[in-house]
Amino acid sequence: MQKHDLLTDFTTITPSARITTPSHGWRAKCLQRLVRLDLPVPGTVALPAATVRAIASGQMVDCPAILAHFGSDPLISVRPSPENPDWGGPATILNIGFNAARHARLAETHGQAAADALYLRFVQGYAIHVARLDPDMFEGVEPSAQSLRDALRSYQSEMDEAFPEDPARQLADVLRSMARAWEGTTARLLRQAKGAPAEAALGLVVQQMAQGIGQGISGSGVMQFVDPVTGDPLIKGRYLGQSQGRDALSKTEAIYLTRDKRGPSLEDLAPEIFAALTRHGAICRQKLREEMQIEFTIEDGHLSVLDAVKVARSSRAGLKIAVALAKDGVITPEEAVLRVEPRALSELLHPQVDPRGARDVFVRGIAASPGAATGRIAFSSQAAQAFAARGEPCVLVRRETAPEDIRGMHSAVAVLTERGGMTSHAAVIGRGLGLPCIVGASDIRLDTKDKKLVARDGRLFREGDIITVDGTTGEALVGATDMLPPAQDDAFRQLLAWADGFRDIGIRANADTPTDAQTARDFGAQGIGLCRTEHMFFDEDRLVAMREMIFADTPADRAAALTRLLPMQRADFGQLFEIMSGLPVCIRLFDPPLHEFLPHSREGLRELAEALDRPLSEVTRRAEALAEFNPMLGMRGVRLGVVLPEIYDMQARAIFEATVESVRKGAPVVPEIMIPLVSARREVELVKGRIDALAAAVRSKTGVAFDYRLGVMVETPRAALRAGEIAQHAAFLSFGTNDLTQMTYGLSRDDAGRFMNTYVQQGVFPEDPFHILDVDGVGELLLIGAERGRATRADLTLSICGEHGGNPESIAFCRKAGFDYVSCSPYRVPLARLAAAHLAL
């Protein structure tokens, strides 16, 4: 190549040089910042991405000109500098410029052993990373004069030429190999998996070597100022005498940095250098506005800072660091909020499997509720309750769960089901209770009769065997694992308090029980957006009364059973009002098909016959008569309210009486009552008529005035289309996107798990629409409903309360559509608060 063909676009890094991240990469930019901060950075030249790309396609940069920047006889390193540090890049090559002459000189000044070791290392690295020779020939060799001779000989015989001596030739080879490695298919796929665009470019950084070997204090190390797992302030790192690069991190003979009981330290060995490093660290934090890890070298007592990278960190450390930087005035609270990824919060709310431990996965399913827990396998709710009674944590393992499993779920520390999707019973309840849960683990074979579970690989598990459910990843593991505890500390609360100050959409929680409501409050929900009242009827005493009500032959018998339920419901609502102390509470009237409350096993039917004092045959017949071909489209929701109005009457009375109580206690509430599964205006009229009358009756009987708001749940496509007329009778509309998704797609929310994977894999659906709101179809219905509703009533309150309510994407959609709030399970409230703040910033 002629001299005039050589590329000359490269820049010496000085405080005023034009170095930009898109062009030269993050490392070059960061090094320039260090230079500007007057840190002792060795001379550095940055090659822009355009130059590197040209090198990959066969051109070459003027290497002698680059080398001239480093004086005569330079020794240099080359490091990758992509635009984003997460995109990786080819390995750093150290000691370019090493050759026989330098080897001889170094042997004189630093001793033969040190000279041999350095030269060998360079030859090995060059042979493997640059000449791409078989690593087996060069790796794992102990440094000695003989191994150096062997390595040089192997190179010569493989390459048919002697090891290159000319530094310019070495540099050209290194640059070419690094530029081409970046363009390789594997590297490309790897970085694209980390979010890099297809055309992501690489810059390169050529730096004067600080050797780290010498007679005076010499060596290298890394230093950082926070713990990478907890984020607590703490000096961490290692130093190794007579070493280079990041050797100190991998060698056992490396020493600690700070003076403490663990052994010798850099602080003891070289107190001034330690103090200088600490100062440099503080400057980096302040000026680079980030916790940095510093790579340093000491040569004969002279300190060089070679590089600084953002400290790798866990989610919890990320949050702590962002808050600490903002509290110290280094960044603004807005920036701290934006630096924490909302989804990372769910890791802080629950125990997590410690990523540093081993994982023996026996099945994968849908990660339906995050967090992890270890317990003994219980194949039935009874078994789960028995384990719990003995104080033994257990995992409820079922084909799928039904409402009657609720007590088993309360007794378990985690749930694993063979069937079901993101909105199946187990998933919804699991998220509500904060229980780690995996559903749709279809690769297990369950035999609940023989009480065994067989994994796909043939491994057999029996009741009582210990497993771990990792609901964050959807993996079930054999045995117990180490756990990281939840981390809702001051930093967590502070970040969310800042987030609340920025967001402009309300966040409520779906909460059915006092425990849920308390969790919702603790997590900062602004009210309850959905209380599914049917969940209140699964406790032992209520279930019996409920079943009596279902089996009642006459309205009078039904009324009698409901009279027993009334005080219980009143107490339920009273408790919720108290816990939420003035925040809005939206209560949904009874929704599910009645037969869900009936036992499904013969044993259960026998128990019910006993409790009702009726013959088993009659109980069985009645249960069968209640069965429907298509229960989710059958007698449920407002249809029950129209056909068997006594149930809603009881619930409305309980709500109003609890409201009167709240007024009497001096903490008045304005309850919100919501009618489920509406598809026609007349349904709302009928129910509203009775509820208004009941309110009037309670007011006149108690002499206490109170207000309430009546609203409609939009869960059928027709309700969305007819929202204009429905809004004539509703103060608010809340979109129940679970049912609305089910009905818009005609896709069973309980069965879709079976084929959802295939559908998503084949690109039929971009995502599971029960998990990520289908903005094109279901979303259009939301927009139509919102627009038509508001056209009737400008002050109509709009919200979403399906499982989508906690997803950042859905929150963005609802915010854009002008919704007032989203409601999600209590454990997703922090994530929703943060995601909403991100949208507003």
Residue 602 annotated as lining a ligand binding site: no
The minimum distance between CB 801 and ligand PEP, in angstroms, equals 5
Residue 158 annotated as lining a ligand binding site: no
The minimum distance between CB 590 and ligand PEP, in angstroms, equals 11
Residue 425 appears among annotated catalytic residues? yes
The residue annotated as part of the active site, out of 425, 595, 771, 804, is 425
Q: Which entry of ligand PEP, Mg ion, none binds 737, CB below 5 to 8 A by partner kind? A: ligand PEP
Beta strands in 300-429 (DSSP E): 302-310, 352-353, 361-364, 366-369, 372-378, 394-398, 414-417
Cβ-proximal residue to Mg ion, closest one: 739
Q: Which entry of Mg ion, ligand PEP, none binds 801, CB below 5 to 8 A by partner kind? A: ligand PEP
Q: What is the chain's Cα-based Rg? A: 34
Alpha helices in 590-645 (DSSP H): 602-612, 616-626, 638-643
**Residue 565 or 743: which CB sits closer to ligand PEP?**
743
Q: Which entry of Mg ion, ligand PEP, none binds 400, CB below 5 to 8 A by partner kind? A: none
Residue 150 annotated as lining a ligand binding site: no
For residues 245 and 26, what is the distance between their CA atoms, to the nearest angstrom? 19
For residues 378 and 146, what is the distance between their CA atoms, to the nearest angstrom? 64
State the Cα angle at 826 between 825 and 832, rounded to 5°. Answer: 80
572 binds Mg ion (CB under 5 A): no
739 binds Mg ion (CB under 5 A): yes
803 binds Mg ion (CB under 5 A): no
For residues 357 and 351, what is the distance between their CA atoms, to the nearest angstrom? 14
**Residue 523 or 770: which CB sits closer to Mg ion?**
770
Residue 715 annotated as lining a ligand binding site: yes
Residue holding tokens 């909460």? 511
The minimum distance between CB 585 and ligand PEP, in angstroms, equals 16
The minimum distance between CB 586 and ligand PEP, in angstroms, equals 11
For residues 382 and 603, what is the distance between their CA atoms, to the nearest angstrom? 12
Applying CB under 5 A, the site for Mg ion has a residue count of 3
Among 592, 736, 769, 830, binds Mg ion (CB under 5 A): 736
Q: Which entry of ligand PEP, Mg ion, none binds 802, CB below 5 to 8 A by partner kind? A: ligand PEP
The minimum distance between CB 672 and ligand PEP, in angstroms, equals 14
Intra-chain end-to-end CA distance of the chain, in Å: 53
**Residue 591 or 649: which CB sits closer to ligand PEP?**
591
DSSP secondary structure string for all residues of 173-202: HHHHHHHHHHHSHHHHHHHHHTT--TT--E
Q: Which of 431, 708, 736 is nearest to 577 (CA)?
A: 708
The minimum distance between CB 358 and Mg ion, in angstroms, equals 41
Residue 404 annotated as lining a ligand binding site: no
Alpha helices in 126-265 (DSSP H): 145-159, 167-183, 185-193, 247-250
For residues 297 and 39, what is the distance between their CA atoms, to the nearest angstrom? 13
- Bridge-based pairing of strands 11-12 and 44-47 is antiparallel
**Residue 267 or 715: which CB sits closer to Mg ion?**
715
The residue annotated as part of the active site, out of 801, 804, 824, 838, is 801
The minimum distance between CB 437 and ligand PEP, in angstroms, equals 15
Distances (CA, A) of 52 to 57, 60, 183, 226: 9, 9, 10, 35
Residue type, 428: V
**Residue 590 or 708: which CB sits closer to ligand PEP?**
590
Residue 672 annotated as lining a ligand binding site: no
**Residue 420 or 736: which CB sits closer to Mg ion?**
736
Q: For the window 696-735, what string marks contact with Mg ion as x by the rule CB under 5 A?
A: -------------------x--------------------
**Residue 530 or 587: which CB sits closer to ligand PEP?**
530
Cα four-point dihedral sign 487, 491, 496, 499: negative
For residues 418 and 707, what is the distance between their CA atoms, to the nearest angstrom? 46
H/E/C letters for each residue in 406-463?
HHHHHHCCEEEECCCCCCCHHHHHHHHHCCCEEECCCCCEEECCCCEEECCCCCEEEC
Residue 548, both tokens: 């009596």
Q: Which of 361, 212, 365, 382 is nearest to 296 (CA)?
A: 212
**Residue 97 or 736: which CB sits closer to Mg ion?**
736
Q: Which entry of Mg ion, ligand PEP, none binds 90, CB below 5 to 8 A by partner kind? A: none
**Residue 400 or 470: which CB sits closer to ligand PEP?**
400
The minimum distance between CB 675 and ligand PEP, in angstroms, equals 12
Q: Which entry of Mg ion, ligand PEP, none binds 532, CB below 5 to 8 A by partner kind? A: ligand PEP
Of the CA atoms within 13 Å of residue 705, those in its CB half-sphere come to 0
- Asked if residues 306 and 247 have their Cβ atoms less than 8 Å apart, the reply is no
The minimum distance between CB 737 and Mg ion, in angstroms, equals 9
Q: Which entry of Mg ion, ligand PEP, none binds 683, CB below 5 to 8 A by partner kind? A: none
State the Cα angle at 205 between 199 and 209, rounded to 5°. Answer: 155
Residue 525, both tokens: 């929900």
For residues 821 and 811, what is the distance between their CA atoms, to the nearest angstrom? 9
Binding site for ligand PEP (CB under 6 A): 530, 532, 591, 715, 736-739, 801-802
Residue 354 annotated as lining a ligand binding site: no
Annotated binding site: 532, 588, 715, 736-739
Residues carrying an active site annotation: 425, 801
Annotated binding site for substrate: 532, 588, 715, 736-739
Binding site for Mg ion (CB under 5 A): 715, 736, 739
Annotated binding site for Mg(2+): 715, 739
